[in-house]
Amino acid sequence: MEPAEAEFLAEKELVTIVPNFSLDRIHLIGGDLGPFNPGLPVEVPVWLAINLKQRQKCRLIPPEWMDVAKLEEIRDQERKEDTFTPMPSPYYMELTKLLLNYASDNIPKADEIRTLVKDTWDTRIAKLRLSADSFVKQQEAHAKLDNLTLMEINTIGTFLTQALDHMYKLRSNLQPSESARSQDF
Amino acid sequence: NEKFAPELLESKPEIIECVVEQLDHMEANLKRAKKGDLKVSVHHMEIERIRYVLSSYLRCRLVKIEKFFPHVLEKEKSRAEGEPSILSPEEFAFAKEYMANTETYLKNAALKHMPPNLQKVSLLKSVPKPNLDSFVFLRVLERQENILVEPETDEQREYTIDLEEGSQHLIRYKTIAPLVASGAVQLI
């Protein structure tokens, strides 16, 4: 899966905005979006929020986990633990990128937040690399990976699955069996 | 699920029809009501998103059909009466045409010029089968117990695991294929 596709899925998450226009309830195929009144916060999916912000029709409110103290806590927790800690949102990476790109003026201390999220990401990817390495070395058949977000799995996923497939093919060709495929013409 | 599964999954005509119907309905509404710029553009954006997901799904299926066409047709021919189909009627027609075209092409390009007793080629044997042993990532939607994990090497022994709801795993496709079909797990 491409990172762009992971971002597409992340855009379905809900985020709070404060519109500066008014519109009554709209009935989308995916569900209803509440009446919009200027000055009153309302929840919309990220794809709509970004679009409205670009047209200068609203102000974005950062999710409650996107705050320096909270992110520092998460980063330190991640560094302490050997396994993966639960992340505040399964799409934290994509949401950070989208919100900081399009609405950094609505988010206090945007640069610090960017650095903190990047640090957490680097720690998690390093842990992931180590564990993938040991998975392949010990030729495990199964791994449990809770608390990993889609973006992280994608980053390493295609490479890992293809490498494992190759190794399986090499291993099964070592043992000649009657089901060995060979082309007879 | 379709994107990450190594084989072609069951065709879901009801869902596809429902989505297409909703899209057409919404588009007709938009054409009629040309007022309120904002509402129209929001609906339009949503239509585009849904259309993207739908076409990406269908494209994925077509790629798999083209890649494994003899095996897909064979499976469809040999499936029992009550079992759900893996191809929609349009996909079935496409697959048959593709097969006929490939056969004609091979015959005209090469086989015609070979000695008569070598003029047949078994597409079933020459086109690679989908690799059901490939590893996939999955998320568990319904709790499952005692899933057998087969050993990789000769020194290991097989063991069973339980799949907790909401957890994520990396495992061979073959073991969990029935769970994907029943909707108990989701491939990620």
At B81, which CATH number?
1.20.58.1030
Are β-strands B135-140 and A31-33 bridged in parallel, bridged antiparallel, or unpaired?
unpaired
**For chain B, how many structural domains are there in total?**
2
Query: What is the distance between the alpha carbons of residues B181 and B188, in angstroms, rounded to a whole number?
Result: 15
Among B111, B146, B165, residue at a domain's last position: B111
Indicate whether B27 and B104 sit together in one domain: yes
Residue pLDDT tens, chain B, 188 long: 777 777 777 777 777 888 888 888 888 877 777 666 778 888 888 888 888 888 888 888 888 888 888 888 888 888 766 677 778 888 888 888 988 888 888 888 877 777 777 777 777 777 888 888 888 888 888 887 777 777 666 666 677 777 778 788 888 888 888 888 888 888 88
Indicate whether B96 and B174 sit together in one domain: no
pLDDT band at A67 (very low <50, low <70, confident <90, very high): confident
Could B125 and A47 be called an inter-chain contact, meaning their C-beta atoms sit closer than 8 Å?
no
Among B50, B78, B111, residue at a domain's last position: B111
Indicate whether B40 and B91 sit together in one domain: yes
Could B26 and A171 be called an inter-chain contact, meaning their C-beta atoms sit closer than 8 Å?
no
Query: What is the distance between the alpha carbons of residues B114 and B33, in angstroms, rounded to a whole number?
Result: 65
pLDDT at A59: 87
pLDDT tens-digit map of A73-117: 888 888 888 888 888 888 888 888 888 888 888 888 888 888 888
Q: What percent of chain A has pLDDT over 90?
A: 0
Q: Is B4 inside a domain boundary? A: no
Q: Return the sign of the alpha-carbon dihedral for residues A91, A6, B164, B136.
A: negative
pLDDT at A178: 46
Q: Which of B46, B149, B169 minimises the CB distance to A29?
A: B46
Q: Is B8 inside a domain boundary? A: no
Among B78, B111, B144, residue at a domain's last position: B111
Considering only residues 56 to 75 of chain A, which have any Cβ-Cβ distance to chain B shorter than 8 Å?
A: 57
Considering only residues 46 to 75 of chain B, which have any Cβ-Cβ distance to chain A shorter than 8 Å?
A: 46-47, 49-50, 52, 56
**Which of B86, B24, B87 lies closest to B50, judged by CA?**
B24
Indicate whether B28 and B105 sit together in one domain: yes
Indicate whether B154 and B107 sit together in one domain: no
Using the Cβ of B24 and the Cβ atoms of chain A, whether some distance falls under 8 Å is answered with no
Indicate whether B75 and B139 sit together in one domain: no
Query: What is the distance between the alpha carbons of residues A125 and A93, in angstroms, rounded to a whole number?
Result: 12
- Mean pLDDT of the residues in chain A: 82
CA B3 vs. chain centroid, Å, equals 7
Question: What CATH number is associated with residue B167?
Answer: 3.40.5.60
Q: Is B177 inside a domain boundary? A: yes
Q: Is B130 inside a domain boundary? A: no
**Residue type, position A30, single letter:** G
pLDDT at B184: 81
For chain A, give the number of residues: 185
Indicate whether B96 and B21 sit together in one domain: yes
Q: Supply the ipTM of this predicted assembly.
A: 0.80
Indicate whether B91 and B39 sit together in one domain: yes
Range of the domain at B146: 135-187
Q: Give, to the nearest 10 degrees, the angle between helix A150-174 and helix A92-102.
A: 140
Indicate whether B73 and B142 sit together in one domain: no
Q: Is B87 inside a domain boundary? A: yes
- Element at B67 (helix H, strand E): helix B37-67
Map tokens 């992971």 to a residue: A6
Which residues does chain B have within 8 Å of residue A135's beta carbon, measured at their own beta carbons?
A: 170
Q: Following DSSP, what letter does each residue of chain A receive, concatenated?
A: --HHHHHHHHTTSEEEEEESS-B--EEETTEEEPPB-TTS-EEEEHHHHHHHHHTT-EEEE--TT-SHHHHHHHHHHHHH-SSPPPPSSTTHHHHHHHHHHH-GGGSTTHHHHHHHHHHHHHHHHHHHHHHHHHHHHTT-S-EE-TT--HHHHHHHHHHHHHHHHHHHHHHHHHS--TT------
Indicate whether B159 and B78 sit together in one domain: no
pLDDT at A76: 87
Could B22 and A29 be called an inter-chain contact, meaning their C-beta atoms sit closer than 8 Å?
yes
> With 0-12 CB in 10 A as exposed, 13-18 as middle and 19+ as buried, what is B45?
middle
Could A48 and B50 be called an inter-chain contact, meaning their C-beta atoms sit closer than 8 Å?
no
Domains of chain A and any CATH numbers: 3-172 (1.20.58.1020)
pLDDT tens-digit map of A150-178: 888 888 888 888 888 888 788 778 766 54
Q: Is the pLDDT of residue A21 over 60?
A: yes
Indicate whether B104 and B151 sit together in one domain: no
**Phi and psi torsions of A9, nearest 5°:** -70, -35
Q: Following DSSP, what letter does each residue of B90-159 receive, concatenated?
A: HHHHHHHHHHHHHHHHHHHHTGGGS-GGG----HHHHSPPP-TT-EEEEEESS-EEEEEE--SSSS---E
**Residues near A28 by beta carbon (within 8 Å), at least 6 away in sequence:** B42, B43, B46
The pTM assigned to this predicted structure is 0.82
Chain A with chain B: Cβ pairs closer than 8 A? 87
Indicate whether B34 and B75 sit together in one domain: yes
pLDDT at B45: 86
Using the Cβ of B45 and the Cβ atoms of chain A, whether some distance falls under 8 Å is answered with yes
Q: Is B180 inside a domain boundary? A: yes
Specify whether the CB–CB gap between A102 and A54 falls below 8 A.
yes
Q: Is B129 inside a domain boundary? A: no
